[in-house]
Amino acid sequence: MDLFEKCEKFDIVKVAKEQDIYPYFHCLQSGQDIVVNMEGHRVIMIGSNNYLGLTSHPEVKEAAIKAIEKYGTGCSGSRFLNGTLDLHQQLESDLAEFLHKDAVMTFSTGFQSNLGIISAIAGRNDYIICDKENHASIYDGCRLSYAKMLRYEHNDMQDLERQLQSVPKDKGILIVTDGVFSMGGDICKLPELVALKKKYGARLMVDDAHGLGVIGAHGRGTGEHFGLEDEVDIIMGTFSKSLASLGGYMAARADVVEYVRHTSRPFIFSASIPPASVASAMKALEILKREPQRVKNLQDIANFMRSELKRNNVPIRETKDPIIPIIPINTYGDYRTFYACKLLLERGVYVNPSISPAVPVGEAIIRTSYTATHTKELMTEAADIIGKVFREDLPEFDKMYPDAK
């Protein structure tokens, strides 16, 4: 069989483009902000992970410019060899102090962080137990580790305990969970996870990519939210969301960080974060520490938008965690989702389609996410547009295409 046969048969993109509902790679002509210029017209942005609104902050941009002027545009090597700047070390020190952990190491991307941490810390004789709704990078990290992977039903602590009971007593165990789940917008059950970790002698890793700057009184994430920072063995996070940059990190005990730093292939064999990105993340972290009210502003906007969407009878997914600035809207079918996103973009609202395999087949959603600098006026405008599409346009689509998937 020809290796490229699968490429020739891959026609979902072609079909979506022919039907003018292809929802990806829309082009911005402005910076990432609460209102953007996308493909020539004004669009309210509720599909970004710019949670604290810092990507356009003048201090963050100035820090990036100064870093380029001093260090140039790149590091031309890995952290392991010639690619370590004093900026990298300062960012790691600042983060460790902020997160109340012994040490931090940084990776070039968030995805690479999970690959690098999990594949280094777990091996062939270990077990990794994952929440079924964990991020794709966690699953790829598990594959790269060669450890035995088990999965438990989403946030189901009874199922997690059942999986823990199946692990031989002489094996190492790593429990891995998202802190804030990026699709559903709910929070892991950290107190129960900690109790099970202790009961079965496991270690606990929390992916806080969507938790840092989002929850906790000071924005330190899931551990701070529950008052259990000391009980999380490994914290993973990213700079591409609340910290307005690019890259990722691991926070843990000093000896654990030192081990990963010297054994993680994705870390050792990747070029280090460019100077501008490091400086941007450092400045964003400084602003978060200086202005913790941004976290409260973000939570207030999320709560307000939920009430506005409910006022418009939009079918949002209910949650026990209304402070989370991720609101999924149920659309169910893939093409129905694409069609809704097309209409919303045409009417001035950008949202993200989430279809299988990101979500189960038949459970597609529109994922909306919010920013601390959004205003109530903008949210009302966006909610009214979304409401009209769901009230008037999608019923017509359903009549025309009753079997659409």
Annotated active-site positions, please? 182, 210, 241
Strand locations in 39-155 (E): 41-45, 103-107, 126-131, 148-152
How many other CB atoms are there within 10 angstroms of residue 404's CB atom?
Answer: 15
Measured at the CA of 284, the angle between CA 121 and CA 72, to 5 degrees, comes to 85
Query: Tokens 């602003």 appear where?
Result: 287
User: Are 181 and 139 spatial neighbours (Cβ–Cβ below 8 Å)?
Assistant: no
Q: Is 104 helix (H, G, I), strand (E, B) or coil?
A: strand
Distance CA 127, CA 78 (A): 30
Q: At what angle do helices 157-165 and 190-200 cross, to 10 degrees?
A: 10
Q: Which residues of 115-137 are buried (b: 16+ CB within 10 A; e: fewer)?
A: bbbbbbbbeeebbbbbbebbbeb
Among 276, 232, 234, smallest CA distance to 104 is for 234
CA distances from 190 to 179, 221, 318 (A): 8, 11, 20
Question: What does the alpha-carbon distance between residue 125 and residue 390 come to, in Å, rounded to a whole number?
Answer: 51
CA atoms 100, 102, 106, 107: torsion sign: negative
Give the 3-state DSSP-derived string for 123-172, with helices as H, strands as E and coil as C.
CCCEEEEEECCCCHHHHHHHHHHCCEEEEECCCCHHHHHHHHHCCCCCCE
- What Cα–Cα distance (Å) separates residue 218 from each residue in 99, 122, 223, 296, 363? 10, 31, 11, 9, 34
Structure tokens at 94: 């600042």
